[in-house]
Structure 1
Amino acid sequence: MWNPDSIMENLYHSYENKRLQQKRAENSEQTKIRLKRHLIKSLDIALEEQDELRPLLLECTELEDHIRERIELGTVWGVRVPAYVLLPKGMTKRTAAVLALHGHGYGSRQIIGLHPNGTENTGKLDLHGNYALELVRRGFIVVVPEIIGFGDRRLAADQKDGQVGNSSCQTLASHLLLYGISLAGLRVHEARRALDYVLSREDVDPARVGCFGFSGGGLIAAYTAAIDERIKATVLCAFVNTFKGSIMQIRHCIDNYLPGVLEYSELPELLELLAPRPLFIESGQQDPIFPIETVEVAIQYLRQVYAEAGAAEKLGVHLFEGVHEVNGSQAYPWLIEALES
């Protein structure tokens, strides 16, 4: 046989054995310190300095049940990032806030109730389920950055001829690798700058800040929360799995691949960095790209981690009848409780 299947399988198990040996030589706290150190290194974008936020209000629209602002803020390399800020009406005190990170699609507008051209979308919900809109309607301040590679932040070549819903992930990721930078690392850095903005707002309660991510946005939410404990509670939709069971078995976007990660961790082990903070996992039982069998493997691992941390009640799970989509029926009330004052 000339195909490399057995080589790849043996390589995975070889690295798995190395990780197990390393973990056996540590206690749980040493393991978390090591994993966090390695994850930070993997996500590093070799910054000498970062840009000032300098938030600028671009537009403000008063709607029936909330106020929608669009702002821009600085992150790195002179790039300005657009973001929507959804504000509940009638706030009289500091309020819980959520950083909402969209998945693959047409960008930030897709989760706040807008069409790609910015007009109001009153039609049937798509797979994203307008979750930023659902969150502001439940009383959260919601900040929705446009993730690089999507919507208005695609490369010019990917916006030609009125293209909608495509991404610049392949080009951005492959070009960034030439500089030793991962697209995941850049996106996590920008998410953390958006978090800086959230915490700079006088109407936000800094002790009640959460993160909600779907699919590719779930990856950003997971890694951001893993290394940044300013995030007090996290909801991950259609993302939690094992590398072996999902991105190594099924064709995924290149933005899912973090160079060198299997040298020190499988995905469930990275997610243990969120413990004992509240974590909610939501996944469709018929999701074709994050198979339910390995979702359950990851959940079982995390249940043990949370139990050992004395925080079993802080791990929430909803495996619903559905595909690669946001459900939210249990995630929204869970997040309200997790971030209650």
Structure 2
Amino acid sequence: MWTGDAYLEQLYRQAGEWREQHSESAAQRKEQLLHSLKDSLGEFERSSQIHSVVLEEKACEGYTRTRVELSVIPGLSFGAYILKPAGARGKLPGVIAVHGHGYGSRQICGMLADGTEDTGKPDIYNHFAVQLVRNGMLVIAPDVIGFGERRMEADVAEDPNAPSSCYRMSTQLLMLGKTLTGLRVNEMLGTLDYFSGLEQVDPGRIGIVGFSGGSLIAYVAAALDERIRSSVLIGFPNTFKDSIMAVHHCICNFMPGILMHAELPELMGLLAPRPLFLESGDRDPIFPAAGFEKAVRELKSIYERENAGDQLTCDLFPGAHEVSGRVSFDWLMRTLA
């Protein structure tokens, strides 16, 4: 075993065997797994009061776009776009739209990195926040720390075109017993606190949509907070074995010790029995179709055990690592309606 390949495979098998040894009930296991997931993230302080400032507002085709600055963790603030259907009245279903690797919330809100309108062909994000608001939902799209305007100064000084600050932030947080996923999820839960308190948002009808690394944030946030009633995970549902451990991925995808508690499908299964939609491209090179299909099979079993088989839907669409929304966005509106 000079190279370690067989040894790592052995450790993976042993982790699975260790998990299977426990004979607690399904309800007990779910409770323990939620606790383990939360512990794996590290501890973060959230402010008792959310500070918010409106920065700008613009009328767009079919909706208004408002830029706000929020602070939910002491010492940190971030921008978010709120997209509201034009002419909307009364309480609306709300959706948190979570981007992954890229230049931030502007990328999913129909803008280029400098804030000007993107009039060209949409990229892999397919302007999905705009698609959601045009489906009649009130949308908030926060800037995830480590991307775009929220990259660390040291990374930008070293390379103005640095794609992210995931490596620098992840390694430093790990030295403090914390994870970048934990920081991002806590900011997302603070965003949920703010969003659910908006006058036009129906707090009983809030969903979340994430793409790629945004799906990691989305499923963890939804697992930890049942105010998120419906979830769409795009370009991420898979198994750790077939994706995160088999393909070169950003360090921000890794959580210490998590495999000793569950594989990825069971972690996503913590959302059961709430509505869950899984979407992936059949040619996605980093979240392969075979792993997606394995995850779907396991999640179907989980949902059926909770008598909620009809609450799980999936779409393996013709495409690569990209957002489709061809079925999922209408599905989301129906589940929140």
Return the letter of the residue paired with 1:157: A
Map 1:47-62 onto structure 2 (within 5 A). Answer: 47=45, 50=47, 52-62=49-59
Aligned residue pairs total: 337
Contact 1:187 1:220 in 2 (8 A): yes
Q: Which runs of 5+ in 1 are unaligned?
A: none
Instruction: Report the 3-state secondary structure (helix = DSSP H, G, I; strand = E; otherwise coil) of the residue aligned with 1:246.
Output: helix
Q: Say if 1:266 and 1:162 are closer, same or farther in 2 by CA, change over 3 A.
A: closer
Q: Is the 8 A contact 1:132 1:142 kept in 2?
A: yes
SS in 2 for 1:82: strand
- AA aligned to 1:313 is D
SS of the residue aligned with 1:232?
Answer: strand
Alpha-carbon distance in structure 2 between the residues aligned to 1:323 and 1:124? 16
TM-score normalised by structure 2 residue count: 0.97
**Counterpart in the other structure of 1:282:** 279
Q: Percent identity?
A: 45
Q: Deviations over 1:111-168 (max 9, x none)?
A: 0000000000010010001000100111111000000000110011333488347100
**Aligned residue number for residue 7 of structure 1:** 7
How many angstroms apart in 2 are the aligned matches of 1:318 and 1:82? 31
How much is the aligned-residue C-alpha RMSD, in angstroms?
1.3
| Contiguous gaps of at least 5 residues in structure 2 | none
Aligned mates of 1:132, 1:278 — CA distance in 2: 20
TM-score normalised by length of structure 1: 0.96
Match of 2:20 in 1: 20
- Matched residue SS, 2:21: helix
Residue 43 of structure 2 is aligned to residue 72 of structure 1:
no
Question: Is residue 51–residue 78 contact of structure 1 (8 Å, CA) maintained in 2?
Answer: no
Could you report, residue by residue, the CA deviation over 1:83-128 in whole angstroms, capped at 9, with x for unpaired residues? 1111111121000000000011111100000000000001001000
1:224 pairs, out of 210, 221, 228, with 221
On the 8 A contact 1:98/1:209 being kept in 2, the answer is yes
State the alpha-carbon separation in 2 of the partners of residues 330 and 86 from structure 1.
Answer: 21
Corresponding residue number in structure 1 for 2:210? 213
Q: Which residue of 1 aligns with 2:291?
A: 294
Task: Say if 2:44 and 2:182, in contact at 8 Å, map to a contact too.
Answer: no
Secondary structure of the equivalent of 1:139? coil
**2:36 is matched with which residue?**
38
Aligned match for 2:112, one of 107, 112, 115:
115
C-alpha distance 46-102 of structure 1, shift in aligned 2 (>3 A): closer
Identify the match of residue 305 of structure 1 among 302, 305, 309: 302
Amino acid corresponding to residue 275 of structure 2 in structure 1: P
* Residue-by-residue CA offset, 1:180-221 (whole Å, 9 max, x unaligned): 110000000000001011111011001110000000000000
Q: Which amino acid aligns with 1:17?
A: E
List, as ranges, runs of 4+ consecutive aligned residues in structure 1 with deviation greater than 2 Å: 44-47, 49-52, 157-165
- Cα distance change on mapping 1:165 and 1:117 into 2, 3 Å: farther
User: Equivalent residues in 2 for 1:163-242 (5 A)?
Assistant: 163-164=160-161, 166-242=163-239
Q: Amino acid of the residue matched to residue 241 of structure 1?
A: N
